[in-house]
C-alpha cells in the first residue's frame, strides 16, 4: 500500500464487535505498510486520537457502538482533525445514517460482513487519493437538504463519478428493476466521465456537480461541469458509420469513444441539456420499459 517516505500508514479501527475488529486488524496488519491500532467503541477511539494528537492516516469506524457511535465520532474527527479520512462500517447500506455519515465527511463505507478484497481495495484507494490530491485538497461536499435529494460537489476526477455511483446504490426500495438500475449506472458513468474529460478537461481546480432527486414517479439526475460547454446540435451519431467515427477521432488525437451521449439517450427516458451544454438532466420513470 502507498506510504509517504516509507513511513507506515497509521490506521485506527473502532468496532465494538470483537470478532469483526480482530478480523479487520489481522488483515491490515499483514501489510508492512500499515500500523494498526484498535478501539472497542467510539469514545475509546476518540481518546486514542487525542493522545496521538490526531496522528492517524485513516479511521475505520462502526456505526452502532456504546458510549459514542460512528456519527458522533465522525463529528469529533471532522471538527478536530478534518484531514483524517474516515470510512464507516455498516450492516445496512440503505440506512439513512450512512448518508448522514457521508454528508458529515466520511469518504467511504463498507458493508458487513466485510470482504477481504473490498477492505484492501478501499484502503489502497484512500491512500492513493491522498497522494493524488496533495496540495489541492479533496474538498468533497455532500448535500442532502431536501428529502430524496443528494448532491456531491467534488474535484475533477473519475474516482468521484465512481463514488457518486455509491450514492445511487443507496436508492433503497424505490420501484426500479435490475435492468433500470444498470441503465442508470451506465448513463451516470458515461456522462460523468464526459464532465471530467471533455467538460473540465481534467482540471482538478474545477468542480463536478453530481446529484439526483427522487420524485413520486421518477428519479432525475443532474450532472454539471465548470467547462465552457458545447452545442449538442453539432454531435453526430457515431453508430451511423462507426469506422469513420473512429478514424476521425484518431486523427484528432482523441480516444475511440464518443458514444456516451447517444448511449445515454437510449438508456434513459429523457435527456435535457442546458443551453451552454455543461448541465445535463436525465430522467428514469419507475414504470418505464426500455426498448433498443
- Let me know if the fold of 4-132 is the same as that of 141-285: no
Where in the chain are the domains? 4-132, 141-285
**Does pLDDT of 16 surpass 90?**
yes
The Cα–Cα gap between 124 and 27 comes to 13
Nearest Cα residue to 157 out of 175, 133, 141: 133
pLDDT over 70 at 77, yes or no: yes
Q: Give the 3-state secondary structure percentages of the chain, helix then strand then coil, rounded to 5.
A: 40, 20, 40
Q: What is the pLDDT of residue 234?
A: 63
Task: Kindly provide the b/e burial profile for residues 252-275, where b requires at least 16 CB atoms within 10 angstroms of the residue's own CB.
Answer: eeeeebbebbbbbeebbbebebee
Q: How many CB atoms lie within 10 A of CB 97?
A: 15
3-state secondary structure of 60: strand
Q: pLDDT tens, 177-222?
A: 889 989 999 999 989 988 998 889 989 889 999 999 888 899 999 9
Would you state the pLDDT for residue 285?
A: 94
DSSP state at residue 199: I
Residue 74 burial by CB count (10 A; 0-12/13-18/19+): exposed, middle or buried? buried
In this predicted model, which residue has the larger pLDDT, 194 or 105?
Answer: 194
Is the domain spanning 141-285 CATH 3.30.565.10? The answer is yes
Nearest to 164 by CA among 183, 189, 187: 189
Q: Which residues contact 130 (CB under 8 A, 6 or more apart)?
A: 57, 85
2 pLDDT higher than 50: no
Beta strand 270-273 pairing with 279-285: antiparallel
**Is the pLDDT assigned to residue 232 strictly greater than 80?**
no
CATH topology classification for 4-132: Rossmann fold (3.40.50)
Give the residue, 147 or 178, on which the prediction is more confident: 178
Q: Which residue has the higher pLDDT, 149 or 48?
A: 48
Lowest-confidence segment of 44-58, 89-103, 124-138, 174-188 by average pLDDT = 124-138
Q: Please give the pLDDT value at position 162.
A: 82
Amino acid at each position: 500500500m502507498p506510504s509517504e517516505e516509507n513511513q507506515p500508514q497509521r490506521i485506527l479501527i473502532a468496532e465494538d464487535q470483537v470478532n469483526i475488529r480482530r478480523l479487520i486488524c489481522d488483515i491490515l496488519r499483514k501489510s508492512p505498510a500499515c500500523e494498526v491500532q484498535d478501539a472497542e467503541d467510539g469514545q475509546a477511539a476518540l481518546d486514542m486520537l487525542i493522545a496521538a494528537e490526531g496522528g492517524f492516516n485513516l479511521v475505520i469506524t462502526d456505526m452502532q457502538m456504546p458510549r459514542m457511535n460512528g456519527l458522533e465520532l465522525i463529528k469529533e474527527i471532522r471538527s478536530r482533525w478534518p484531514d483524517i479520512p474516515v470510512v464507516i462500517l455498516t450492516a445496512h447500506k440503505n440506512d439513512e445514517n450512512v448518508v448522514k455519515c457521508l454528508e458529515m465527511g466520511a469518504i467511504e463505507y463498507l458493508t458487513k460482513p466485510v470482504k477481504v478484497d473490498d477492505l484492501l481495495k478501499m484502503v489502497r484507494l484512500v491512500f492513493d487519493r491522498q497522494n493524488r490530491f496533495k496540495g489541492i485538497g479533496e474538498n468533497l461536499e455532500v448535500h442532502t437538504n431536501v428529502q430524496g435529494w443528494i448532491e456531491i460537489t467534488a474535484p475533477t476526477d473519475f474516482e468521484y463519478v465512481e463514488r457518486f455511483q455509491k450514492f445511487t446504490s443507496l436508492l433503497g426500495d424505490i420501484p426500479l428493476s435490475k435492468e433500470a438500475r444498470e441503465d442508470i449506472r451506465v448513463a451516470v458513468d458515461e456522462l460523468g466521465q464526459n464532465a471530467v474529460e471533455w467538460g473540465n478537461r481534467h482540471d482538478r481546480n474545477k468542480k463536478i456537480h453530481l446529484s439526483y432527486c427522487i420524485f413520486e414517479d421518477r428519479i432525475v439526475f443532474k450532472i454539471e461541469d465548470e467547462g465552457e460547454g458545447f452545442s449538442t446540435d453539432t454531435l453526430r451519431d457515431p453508430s451511423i458509420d462507426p469506422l469513420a467515427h473512429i478514424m476521425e477521432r484518431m486523427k484528432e488525437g482523441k480516444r475511440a469513444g464518443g458514444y456516451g451521449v447517444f448511449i445515454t439517450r437510449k438508456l434513459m427516458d429523457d435527456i435535457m441539456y442546458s443551453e451552454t451544454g455543461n448541465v445535463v438532466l436525465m430522467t428514469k420513470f419507475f414504470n418505464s420499459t426500455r426498448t433498443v
